[in-house]
Amino acid sequence: MHPIKTPTRLFATLLTLLALDLQAAEGLKVHMLLVTPDNEVYASHIKGAVLGQTEGNIQGRFLGIDYQLEEVSAASGAVARDGISAVIVAAPFDQLLQVYETYAKSGVPVFNIALQNDGLRQVCRPGLYHTPPSDRMLADAEQQWAKVNDGAAITALAWHPEFVKFAGRDLNKRYTEQFGEPMDSAAWAGWAATRIVAEAVVRTSSNEGPVLNAYIRDELGFDGQKGLAQTFRNNGQLRQPLLLQDAEGQLVGEAPVRGAVADTNDLDSLGIPGCL
Amino acid sequence: MNKLSAKPRLRMLAGLPLLLVAGLLQAQTHRLFVTNEGDNTVTVIDSRTLKVEATIAVGNRPRGIGFSPDHSKVYVALGDDDAIGVIDTQNLTLVDTIPAGSDPEAFAVHPGGNLYLSNEDDNLASVLDPVSREILAEIPVGIEPEGVGVTPDGSKVLVTSESTNMVHVIDVSQNAVVANILVGARPREVTFTADSKWAFVTSEVAGEVAKLDLATNKVVQTKSLQEIDGVKPKGVLLSPDEKLLYISTGRSNSVAVLDAETLELIDNIAVGNRVWGIALSRDGSRLYAANGVSNTVSVVDTATRKEIATVDVGDMPWGVVLDD
């Protein structure tokens, strides 16, 4: 911002900023792409992303913001288009990276909502975000549980349809009412991505990729309805509490696990803390 | 001491019709009423002796609680019954259950007697006339509406939408939303200055409190409370002299005390586990806190800023109000 020399210039600058701010907030269109091959494997991820878009539009109604979520094939996702605010990808590794390469140069944030491999996190590309927990995070959660509970066979998850704390009950209800089935981890990962885009849009009053990217990377504290505000690591992984279920699929606890770690609010006890 | 505490009440009385003034002058029962979300009861405590006087079965999933303007009744939001329960504050019986739309969580009682309530899973705020039992209006708000507050002058109602991260300002004369204010993630409760010009809103996941200017409908000040480890701000109240802000911190198990002007943290009073609902005595000398995991109500001496007693209540206490 250029230095302001006189009171009248200050006044004019403030008026302009105010006008721009109002303009940006009203009638803002946010065009998101959902890149996915035609495969049942990604059905829940897609539903989750759609729920997030629906909720973004409920908020958007009060602010004059409209979110469009356009589903496209992987081939289509590899061809750069203008006016895209964010790209959500539910696809295998190669297709994800191709989409990322397509949009990275224009600074549009790209979200992986399906893949859990740690290798993917460690490629450490700026503007590539991962909402599902990584395999290592899940393993760490299970190990923490085993430390304080002998012998129980346990599975760690991003989400559980019977989770009621932190308004989890309400999120589960909304998903089930919209889709007629329980909300699973895949759906939560899809939901998180579109809700994160919406959060960035309303906090910045912008639909521009690089602006959203900077906010998501540096300022975002996302309410993923698991209690703690969720932030992104420098390797693009969304820090998050995890849920634990037993062999019968019953919800038994949360990670970080009390008694296994010094501070259950420290989400870096799950997974690799960042780019090495 | 505490001469200032008399002023806000006198200002409020000046604005109300004579009938309500007469009503307010009825003898206070000095009773604390606590909703127990987990066992569907309300615990009644004599605040002078701290003895439990009664446990009243009310209906399913009681949460929000508040007095009628003359304090002859205390209303309870029964979320799983889609209703408002009505308790007689003198004889301690449940005298009515009024249908109130889907999943009412909390509400504010307008000085004129109507309830403005949040329908948590319908994204609505409803206006209920408890006398005619009619829903007078349904006002679309954001996702997971929770906290509802009415300005002391009765002109506005503020509703928080927890998942939409907003405070909606409702103009009572139109029963319509006139402004939507973005605040920190997961806003929960709201309180007002006695002159109706300012509001304070807690944001649970953002871990902060915001001050709103109700003339411009803007956030003018925000304070992070994250110096309190794991803080989850929920209940918020002003001291009668408006110098202090009290904020319950959820699973940080404390009530934070802030300077209401600077929003600096002055103190952090340890109470029970998962503290949400808080109430202040009219003279400000006592603060009561509902500890949802300890199943107790803490009694705090606000001069020494220490918990001086706890009272066992029902399962998962949520809200607490005092008739004094």
Residues of chain B with Cβ-Cβ distance to A63 below 8 Å are 180, 182
Q: Helix A185-204 crosses helix A43-63 at what angle (to 10 degrees)?
A: 30
Mean pLDDT lowest among A97-111, B20-34, B96-110: B20-34
Q: How confident is the model at residue B312 (pLDDT cuts 50, 70, 90)?
A: very high
Chain A contact present for B178, CB below 8 A? no
Model ipTM over 0.90: no
pLDDT number for residue A11: 53
Closest chain B residue by Cα to residue A265? B230
Q: Are A117 and A107 in contact (CB under 8 A)?
A: no
Model-level pTM? 0.89
B208 CA to chain A: closest CA distance, Å? 12
pLDDT number for residue A4: 41
Residue A150 has pLDDT above 50, yes or no: yes
B178 CA to chain A: closest CA distance, Å? 10
Residue spans per domain, chain A: 28-269
Chain A contact present for B250, CB below 8 A? no
Give me the total of CB pairs closer than 8 Å, taking one residue from chain A and one from chain B. 60
Closest chain A residue by Cα to residue B121? A170
pLDDT number for residue B2: 38
pLDDT number for residue A229: 95
Average pLDDT, integer, range A31-40: 94
Question: Which of B123, B180, B205 is nearest residue A223 as measured by Cβ atoms?
Answer: B205
Phi, psi angles (nearest 5°) of residue A112? -85, 120
pLDDT number for residue A27: 87
Chain A contact present for B285, CB below 8 A? no
- What are the residue ranges of helices labelled H in chain B? 6-14, 18-24
Residue B15 has pLDDT above 80, yes or no: no
**Closest by alpha carbon to A33, among A131, A100, A125, A118?**
A100
Chain B contact present for A18, CB below 8 A? no
Q: Work out the mean pLDDT of chain A and round it to a whole number.
A: 92
- Report CB contact under 8 Å: A203, B182: yes
Q: Is B285 exposed, middle or buried (0-12, 13-18, 19+ CB in 10 A)?
A: middle
Q: Which fold, A28-269? A: Rossmann fold (3.40.50)
CA distances from residue A249 to A45, A139, B132, B289 in whole angstroms, order as listed: 20, 17, 48, 36
Q: Work out the mean pLDDT of chain B and round it to a whole number.
A: 93
Q: Are strands A128-130 and A229-230 parallel, antiparallel or unpaired?
A: unpaired
pLDDT number for residue B3: 41
B282 CA to chain A: closest CA distance, Å? 32
Which residue type, as a one-letter code, is found at position B229?
A: D
Which residues pair with residue B192 across a beta bridge? B199
pLDDT number for residue A14: 52
- Report CB contact under 8 Å: A202, B205: no
> What are the tokens at A196?
């994160």
Q: Tens of pLDDT along B40-84?
A: 999 999 999 999 999 999 999 999 999 999 999 999 999 999 999
Residue A125 has pLDDT above 80, yes or no: yes
CA distances from residue B160 to A136, B190, B237, B299 in whole angstroms, order as listed: 37, 8, 16, 28
Cα distance between residue A47 and residue A192, in whole Å: 11
Average pLDDT, integer, range A52-67: 97
Residue B236, SS3 per DSSP: strand
